[in-house]
Amino acid sequence: MDIRFSEEENAFRTEVRAFLQQAWTPELAKRIDADASYPQAIVEWQRRLFERGWVAPGWPRAQGGCDWTPTQRFIYDSERSAIGAPEVLPFGIKMVGPVILKYGSDEQKARFLPRILRGQDWWCQGYSEPGAGSDLAALKTRAERAGDHYIVNGSKIWTTYAQYADWMFCLVRTEASARRQDGISFLLIDMKSPGIRISPIVSIDGEHSLNEVFFDNVRVPVANLIGEQDKGWTYAKSLLAHERTAIAGVGDSKRRVRQLRELARRETQLGAPLLDDPLFGARLADIEIELMALETMELRALFEASKGKGPGAESSLLKIKGSELQQAIQQLMMDMAGLYGAVLGDSGHDFGNEARRSFMYGRAATIYGGSNEIQKNITAKAVLGL
């Protein structure tokens, strides 16, 4: 879809392209793709963006952000995804950073924000627990005040990259009040504190990004409490709104579809290009049309945002449709890979391996960031008034 930008916006796009061409090197792409070098390489990517001043599009300029307009953010993201460069890790820049900016004390801002921008600390998100996922307010990890510390006991689950993390932003129960949301607090926990144990969870794709984290009498200084005790639910919710805005992944889906179309032009089936198969062509066209509609929806949300309106129920719609389309693309990739995609482990076939990995991990897209069923409930209430 051709989008008409203003002259200034076009100039910005040229600037973004020039920077990405120089900063997103094939060598870095290779290191990010390999499990062993991923942690250092993703931090290196963040450092390159930081040095250009572009690591935190949504932060105010005075705090090291770039104060981009929603359209500039859209342009950057389209250009980034078109060449396959990753987003920065969300936990610091997109999640805890905005919470500290809005609700943190001056000391907390001075201590944590510069390190988040430079990627010096790796953050993880300690929200979910066994028995508290969609129903997050059911969380049970306790923090009891003892002088100038909290003593934390309990466990978190599905904690992405806890094994690399220096810090966790964590929801804990500080009061067993009648309304469950009222007794929750937002703590910053040093992952090197005595009493923390991390247990890996290997997911269906064979990868280790998820973990369980156990807390056994972990001492956390009261200075690491964000805002007021028992008011953490408010801060936690503001973070979730940020989490859902960029979740449609339109740019990345467009790149994948372009790759599939290219591959289908080269691959043959019974002597003819796969792309000439009417059934295959129709499936691909369906996805492309839906993707175009999703992009239009995203642009509409962008237009609202440029008038100063925050993300509303449309972010739920973007999440639902975006993740469904990601899964439709992964399904098509698996069908194209055929038996190569079915091999668990290395099939010796690059596309087959990629199809299997992205299909397997892709199952999670309709679960994380608030499951699609929950997003449908939100939409039913906020849009349909049910």
**Which is closer to ligand FAD, CB of 54 or CB of 233?**
233
Regarding 373 and contact with ligand FAD (CB under 6 A), the answer is yes
Regarding 125 and contact with ligand FAD (CB under 6 A), the answer is yes
- Binding segment toward ligand FAD, per CB under 6 A, in 25-33, 126-134, 224-232, 308-316: 126-134
Residues 6+ apart with CB under 8 A from 256: 329, 333
Regarding 128 and contact with ligand FAD (CB under 6 A), the answer is yes
Regarding 368 and contact with ligand FAD (CB under 6 A), the answer is yes
Instruction: State which of positions 208-227 bind ligand FAD (CB under 6 A).
Output: 210
Examine the residue annotation and report whether 79 is marked as an active-site residue of this protein: no
Regarding 267 and contact with ligand FAD (CB under 6 A), the answer is no
Regarding 134 and contact with ligand FAD (CB under 6 A), the answer is yes
Q: Which of 243, 295, 298, 314 is catalytic?
A: 243
Where helices occur in the chain by DSSP H, the ranges are: 7-23, 26-33, 38-52, 70-82, 90, 97-103, 106-118, 232-245, 250-266, 278-306, 314-337, 339-342, 350-362, 372-382
Regarding 323 and contact with ligand FAD (CB under 6 A), the answer is no
Regarding 159 and contact with ligand FAD (CB under 6 A), the answer is yes
Shortest distance, CB of residue 136 to ligand FAD, whole angstroms? 7
**Which is closer to ligand FAD, CB of 71 or CB of 323?**
323
- Binding segment toward ligand FAD, per CB under 6 A, in 29-37, 74-82, 301-309, 370-378: 370-378
Pairing mode, if any, of strands 268-269 and 272-273? antiparallel
**Which is closer to ligand FAD, CB of 126 or CB of 183?**
126
Per DSSP, the three-state class of 12 is helix
For every residue of 230-288, DSSP letters joined together read TBHHHHHHHHHHHHHHTTT-HHHHHHHHHHHHHHHHH-EETTEEGGG-HHHHHHHHHHH
- Binding segment toward ligand FAD, per CB under 6 A, in 152-160, 248-256, 312-320, 342-350: 152-160
What is the distance in angstroms between the CA of the first residue and the CA of the last residue of the chain? 35
Q: Are 251 and 80 in contact (CB under 8 A)?
A: yes
The Cβ-side half-sphere exposure at 383, using a 13 Å CA radius, reads: 12
Per DSSP, the three-state class of 119 is coil
Q: Which amino acid is at 286?
A: D
Active site residues: 243
Chain residues that interact with ligand FAD, rule: CB under 6 A: 124-128, 133-134, 158-160, 210, 364, 367-368, 371, 373-374, 377
